[in-house]
Homo-oligomer: A and B are copies of this chain.
Amino acid sequence: MSSLFLRTLREDPADAEVPSHKLLVRAGYVRRIAPGVYSWLPLGLKVLRRIEQIVREEMDAIGAQEIQFPALLPREPYEATNRWTEYGPNIFRLKDRKGADYLLGPTHEELFTLTVKGEFSSYKDYPVILYQIQTKYRDEERPRAGILRGREFLMKDSYSFDLTDEGLSESYAKHRAAYIKTFDRLGLRYVVVAATSGAMGGSASEEFLAESETGEDTFVRGPGGYAANVEAVTTPAPPAQSVEDKPAAVVHHTPDTPTIESLVDFLNANTDRKFTAADTLKNVLLKTRQPGSDEWELLAIGVPGDREVDMKRVEAGLEPAEVALLEDKDFAANPFLVKGYIGPKALQDNGVRYVVDPRIVTGTAWVTGADRADHHVVDLVCGRDFTPDGTIEAAEVRAGDPSPDGTGVLEAARGIEIGHIFQLGRKYADAFKLDALGPDSKPVRITMGSYGIGVSRLVAAIAEQSHDDSGLVWPRAVAPFDVHVVVAHKSNPELLAAGESLAAELEALGLSVVLDDRKTSPGVKFADAELIGVPTIVVVGRGLAEGTLEVKDRVTGERTEIAVEGAAETVAALVQG
């Protein structure tokens, strides 16, 4: 380490909030160059390369073939699929010296599809799975958490090309199995959750989430094995009821009740019925805009009053459209919107699309706005007094909600998205007319699957799961070195010689070793060893005089004395066992 390009830091970086970010910077793995743009120092690059190699091996094992596309891409293919526009400000765009438009690839569906079309033509060529491990770019609005959500990052992306839907299912299953092997080898705790497919289009879709409190993704799981990203949770609709036995809707003067809480309190104080927030129908106004359009359109969402609208779920449901909250000027421009007292009637009378939570079924009665200040209507019955324009998964999902598989209630947790697999179907094959000539000489439209792993993000995801108060604790499969040898006192030439010869012997046995031969105090060396997180630490210290070394297991914290005689073999057995 006296010559290793590494300086550890005593202080957390000022901009770091999550443990992986703090530790990867403090331990000298990465350095920030610009927002969401990092360089990899020697230790970080070693971990990144080990992860990359495990991902590669498991992709090769399912017969996927590695290729590599450029990151600098011409506009035209992305124009053909409208993604040049749909991506909005989320991609980096640039012009070359001749004024031609380019982008830095955020994902390569277009290129994969065009490339397969360029090379393959017969049904005999299929199926094929191609992948790349390549640098990608997204101009994130809020890059965060170091390399966890960067603007330049390394991804493995693969695509399967099949003649039939059954073939696609098989390719999907192969990837699912390969991902499980990959993440198991990386020593991760993760869940596979049902997911929405986002801007990519397509049907079956699952995400691999590394469990982590600092994760951006919330997921839920039920006791029977159901697990889903909150965006993908479907709300079981209660059965429809008869509308005939319901009391008539009555408008009440409800002064000063612009919130659900004030409304429920007022009704409970001034009527002889007992209301809860769940009896109210809250109408939330949003506006949406299709990609490439300048026109905003109003959209009203009705949810039971005891739940908030979850904007991530709304966005997932409306993609690729853009969604925004209404501003004061929007209310001013639409005087029929009486803030705090909006009801279905004024919305639908004025041509505003009105979609509701799946719980709002025919026959259910609601307290909701009466479209006049200080007035609400009670017993407004769905299917009798109003008919929504459709349903939407907009209401927040809560721990304790019933699991859609009927096995009990959901619990909520957070995770980091580390992989995503989904059946893309024929969206891109249609866009580029990717056909194979069938055995009967008729064209067969190809169906595709899309599969991603966030390779550089995995470094952070593993660090989130593998650290303690003293520093990083790498799983053996990805550690930057197998063994960290600490020469406790460099000024003692015998210790230094013993450390150097142990390091050499370990390397001869095929292990990678970092040797701390610096002229620093033992305390600094031990602290750095803990911070860096190599799983096996060997201390060459005072015990040498009695013929012993100390081995510390960074995972368990266990310390063992071993004999100097045969120490390399003993350590190798510990590491490889």
Q: Which residues of A contact B (CB under 8 A)?
A: 2-7, 28, 31, 33-34, 37-42, 45, 48, 63, 65-74, 89-90, 92-94, 96-97, 100, 102, 104, 111, 115, 118-120, 124, 128, 130, 135, 137, 139, 141, 151-152
Contact = CB atoms under 8 A, between A and B. Distances in A.
A369 to B, nearest CB: 37
A130 B139 CA distance: 29
A70 B152 contact: yes
Contacts of A120: 5, 7
B42 A65 contact: yes
B119 A152 contact: no
A67 B38 contact: no
Contacts of A5: 65, 67, 119-120, 128, 130
A96 B93 CA distance: 8
Nearest to A104: B72
A118 B111 CA distance: 39
In the complex, which of the residues A66, A70, A93 has the most CB atoms of chain B within 10 Å of its own CB atom?
A70
A304 B331 CA distance: 82
A67 B97 CA distance: 30
Contacts of A67: 5, 39-42, 45
Contact of A31 (B38, B39, B40, B118): B118
Interface of A, secondary structure class, is mixed
A39 B115 CA distance: 9
B119 A7 contact: yes
B94 A68 contact: no
A105 to B, nearest CB: 10
Contacts of A135: 71, 135
A4 to B, nearest CB: 7
Nearest to A72: B152
Given A37-B72, A39-B111, A141-B97, A63 B152 contact: no
Contact of A70 (B38, B73, B92, B141): B38
A120 B3 CA distance: 11
A385 to B, nearest CB: 45
Contacts of A39: 67-70, 111, 115
3 nearest interchain CB pairs? A94-B94, A40-B68, A34-B74
A542 to B, nearest CB: 25
Contacts of A94: 92-94, 104
B104 A63 contact: no
Given A39-B70, A97-B141, 7 more contacts: A5-B119, A33-B73, A38-B70, A39-B68, A71-B71, A71-B135, A92-B94
Given A67-B40, A152-B72, A28 B119 contact: yes
Nearest to A137: B72
Contacts of A90: 97
Contacts of A139: 96-97
B66 A42 contact: yes
A147 to B, nearest CB: 11
In the complex, which of the residues A5, A74, A104 has the most CB atoms of chain B within 10 Å of its own CB atom?
A5
B93 A89 contact: no
A274 to B, nearest CB: 51
Contacts of A28: 119
Nearest to A89: B97
Given A45-B67, A65-B42, A119-B28, A72 B111 contact: no
A70 B37 contact: yes
B69 A111 contact: no
Contacts of A72: 34, 37, 92, 104, 137, 151-152
A93 B65 CA distance: 33
A242 B40 CA distance: 64
Nearest to A5: B65
A71 B152 contact: yes
A115 B38 CA distance: 11
B45 A3 contact: no
A322 B482 CA distance: 53
23 contacts: A2-B124, A3-B128, A4-B65, A5-B67, A6-B119, A28-B119, A31-B115, A31-B118, A39-B67, A39-B68, A39-B69, A39-B111, A40-B67, A40-B68, A41-B67, A41-B115, A45-B66, A72-B151, A72-B152, A90-B97, A92-B94, A93-B94, A94-B94
Nearest to A129: B5
B96 A33 contact: no
A120 B5 CA distance: 8
A130 B65 CA distance: 32
A496 to B, nearest CB: 16
A286 to B, nearest CB: 22
Contacts of A111: 33, 39
A33 B74 contact: yes
A6 B94 CA distance: 32
In the complex, which of the residues A7, A100, A141 has the most CB atoms of chain B within 10 Å of its own CB atom?
A7
A359 B353 CA distance: 86
Contacts of A63: 3
